[in-house]
């Protein structure tokens, strides 16, 4: 798709948005001025990875919004419009048919009536979080903040609160760095199912709410003054008439709007222009230390470059330097050092030269009550194993704890956080402020590099060891608890002749007996005290780091 995203085109798109934003089209689009230009070369030339991010290692994420209300997991706002999908069935039974009760009605049920941000932030900090990230918007296209350019926001819909601003205040009062995540670049194709219809059944062929509703229809209703087309993004890829099977409907959507599309909607420059306004407004208002883009490289090509340059130039104005982190995915070589690369729900099989991040969740991204009832959350042990693996490879872990629509967390999630807190209280020196060693580790478990491949990792064993260094000491983190004698082969004299091991201590425990020969460093580990996981050894000596 050839798309004109020149400055002239963007300004024309802004002007087309109407009187509320027309004045911005006469200005430099509200973009911050500074040395960083909207090119990949300029981003790479100016960007340096902040020390705070390299030290932080662990972030906690509130991936929370109106799609949490049904408690059915991910992508509810798209899947509820696909007849035959479990989300559609749940919606029909719980809220009514999507011709009459669509995603906008679910949004207004987002009450957040049990949300205690200060208590949650305190719990997250205790579990080790050094930065906290708030979802600013998702593909459902609701801005969870006081948005100047998008009326569908959480101050007018749902909780009637500035969710991002409230999180920001709580996080910063607790001494955490604060971040936001922006996913709205994909809303225009993700939401096209809302313009469809049932291919079978008593309401066959009747279009869903997004196709029929206009601003005038809200007169006297809760959404009076709001235009549903601004929420649902407009009819860019509409299911054609005459489809009469669920399979054919699903296949059409998969082929036409179900892919991961980084370009703007055809013939609608206003959409990408408005996205840029919303993004720069978000950055200007909340001054986040961290921003997550749910995109392969940057959204909308040159427009994403303008957003990145704006963020970096604002950071220079705030701090005198670029002291912020902007993440994106699947970076090509020319982009690699201009952003921080994020690997969603994935692994790497090697030690990276530059800092990077993986993001994952203990369950589904949006709250799914089935994870509670079938006890399928990641355990605290699995989270810490993942943290150890990522940190040993020069990465950070951003972990989401799903919240239902009321804003609480459930009892199983509390137990997971408590388990993390107990581990962090003993072993924090191996993680925070650490740097990688000469190799990331050793062991039999082979990880496949890439995104969305968590299920391929297998089960870590006591022979899987990860290394970090901090303040002159070497740390060995065992991903399983060894029994009896264990050998760290990387510290054998034939592989590491120059180093001398003088003392080995189990963090939270006693000095560990050890001997060293050509084959490795041999240790006698104490028995697991019960419930323990990922034991950490502090290895001190000469020439180790």
pLDDT above 80: residue 533: yes
Q: Is-contact 324 312, C-beta < 8 A?
A: yes
Question: What are residue 380's phi and psi, to 5 degrees?
Answer: -60, -40
Task: Please report the pLDDT score of residue 29 as a whole number.
Answer: 55
* Domain-located, residue 401: no
- DSSP notation for 391-457: HHTTEEEEEE----TTS---HHHHHHHHHHHHHHHHHGGGTTT-B--SS-EE-SPPPPBBSS-GGGS
Same structural domain, 338 and 452: no
Same structural domain, 198 and 80: yes
**Residue 545: count of CB within 10 angstroms of its CB:** 18
pLDDT band at 496 (very low <50, low <70, confident <90, very high): confident
* Domain-located, residue 41: no
Q: What are the b/e assignments for 500-533, b being 16+ CB within 10 Å?
A: ebeebebbeeeebebebeeebbbbebeeeeeebb
- Which residue, of 344, 369, 402, is where some domain finishes? 344
CATH of the domain at 528: 2.60.40.1180
Domain count, the chain: 2
Q: Is-contact 462 476, C-beta < 8 A?
A: no
* Domain-located, residue 297: yes
Task: Please report the pLDDT score of residue 191 as a whole number.
Answer: 98
- Which residue, of 312, 344, 376, is where some domain finishes? 344
DSSP structure class, residue 345: T
Same structural domain, 89 and 213: yes
pLDDT band at 168 (very low <50, low <70, confident <90, very high): very high
What is the per-residue pLDDT across 56-106, written as a single tens digit (0 to 9) for each? 999 999 999 999 999 999 999 999 999 999 999 999 999 999 999 999 999
Beta bridge partners of 341: 328
In this structure, the chain runs to a length of 545
Q: Which residue has the tokens 């749910």?
A: 294
Averaged pLDDT, 491-504: 90
What is the per-residue pLDDT across 12-37, written as a single tens digit (0 to 9) for each? 544 554 443 333 333 345 899 999 99
Q: What's the predicted TM-score (pTM) here? A: 0.94
Same structural domain, 326 and 473: no
Average pLDDT, the chain: 94
DSSP structure class, residue 153: B
Distance CA 221, CA 217 (A): 8
Instruction: Domain of residue 178: give its range.
Output: 7-30+48-344
Distance CA 137, CA 121 (A): 20
Strands 395-400 and 514-517: unpaired
Averaged pLDDT, 463-483: 97
Q: Which residue has the tokens 């002007």?
A: 15
- Which residue, of 296, 319, 344, is where some domain finishes? 344
**Residue 51: count of CB within 10 angstroms of its CB:** 10
* Domain-located, residue 352: no
Q: Which residue has the tokens 């066959």?
A: 204
* Domain-located, residue 408: no
* Domain-located, residue 382: no
Q: Is-contact 534 477, C-beta < 8 A?
A: yes
Q: Is-contact 262 151, C-beta < 8 A?
A: no
CATH of the domain at 321: 3.20.20.80
* Domain-located, residue 490: yes
- CA 304 from centre of chain: 18
């Amino acid at each position: 798709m050839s798309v004109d995203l020149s400055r002239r085109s963007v300004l024309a798109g802004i002007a087309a948005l109407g009187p509320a934003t027309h004045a911005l089209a006469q200005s430099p689009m509200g973009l911050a001025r500074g040395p960083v230009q909207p090119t990949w070369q300029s981003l790479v030339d100016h960007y340096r990875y902040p020390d705070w991010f390299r030290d932080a290692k662990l972030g906690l994420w509130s991936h929370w919004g109106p799609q949490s209300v049904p408690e059915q997991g991910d992508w509810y706002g798209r899947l509820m419009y696909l007849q035959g999908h479990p989300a559609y069935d749940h919606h029909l039974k719980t809220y009514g048919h999507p011709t009459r009760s669509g995603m906008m009605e679910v949004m207004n049920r987002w009450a957040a009536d049990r949300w205690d941000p200060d208590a949650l932030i305190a719990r997250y900090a205790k579990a080790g979080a050094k930065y906290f990230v708030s979802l600013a918007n998702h593909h459902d296209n609701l801005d969870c903040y006081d948005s100047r350019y998008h009326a569908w926001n959480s101050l007018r819909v749902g909780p009637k609160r500035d969710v991002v601003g409230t999180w920001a205040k709580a996080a910063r009062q607790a001494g955490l760095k604060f971040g936001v995540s922006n996913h709205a670049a994909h809303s225009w194709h993700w939401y096209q199912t809302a313009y469809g219809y049932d291919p079978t059944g008593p309401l066959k062929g009747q279009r869903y709410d997004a196709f029929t509703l206009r601003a005038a229809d809200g007169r006297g209703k809760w959404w009076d003054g709001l235009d549903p087309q601004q929420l649902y993004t407009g009819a860019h890829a509409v299911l054609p008439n005459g489809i009469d099977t669920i399979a054919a409907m699903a296949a059409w959507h998969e082929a036409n709007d179900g892919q991961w599309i980084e370009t703007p909607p055809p013939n609608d420059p206003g959409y990408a222009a408005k996205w840029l306004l919303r993004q720069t407004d978000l950055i200007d208002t909340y001054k986040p230390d961290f921003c997550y883009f749910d995109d392969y490289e940057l959204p909308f090509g040159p427009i994403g470059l303008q957003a990145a340059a704006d963020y970096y130039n604002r950071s220079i104005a705030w701090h005198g330097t670029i002291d912020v982190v902007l993440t994106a995915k699947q970076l090509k070589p020319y982009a690699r050092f201009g952003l921080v690369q994020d690997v969603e729900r994935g692994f790497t099989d090697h030690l990276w030269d530059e800092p990077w991040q993986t993001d994952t969740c203990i369950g589904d991204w949006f709250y799914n009550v089935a994870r509670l009832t079938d006890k399928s959350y990641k355990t605290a042990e699995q989270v810490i194993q993942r943290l150890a693996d990522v940190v040993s490879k020069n990465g950070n872990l951003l972990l989401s704890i799903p919240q239902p629509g009321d804003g609480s967390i459930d009892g199983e999630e509390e137990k997971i956080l408590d388990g993390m807190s107990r581990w962090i209280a003993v072993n924090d020196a191996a993680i925070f402020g650490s740097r990688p060693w000469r190799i990331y580790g050793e062991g039999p478990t082979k990880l496949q590099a890439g995104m969305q491949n968590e299920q391929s990792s297998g089960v870590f064993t006591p022979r899987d060891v990860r290394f970090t260094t901090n303040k002159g000491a070497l740390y060995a983190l065992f991903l399983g608890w060894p029994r009896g004698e264990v050998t760290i082969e990387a510290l054998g004299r034939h592989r590491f002749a120059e180093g001398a091991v003088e003392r080995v201590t189990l963090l939270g425990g006693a000095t560990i007996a050890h001997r060293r020969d050509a084959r490795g460093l041999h240790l006698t580990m104490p028995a697991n005290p019960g419930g323990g996981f990922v034991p950490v050894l502090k290895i001190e000596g000469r020439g180790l780091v």
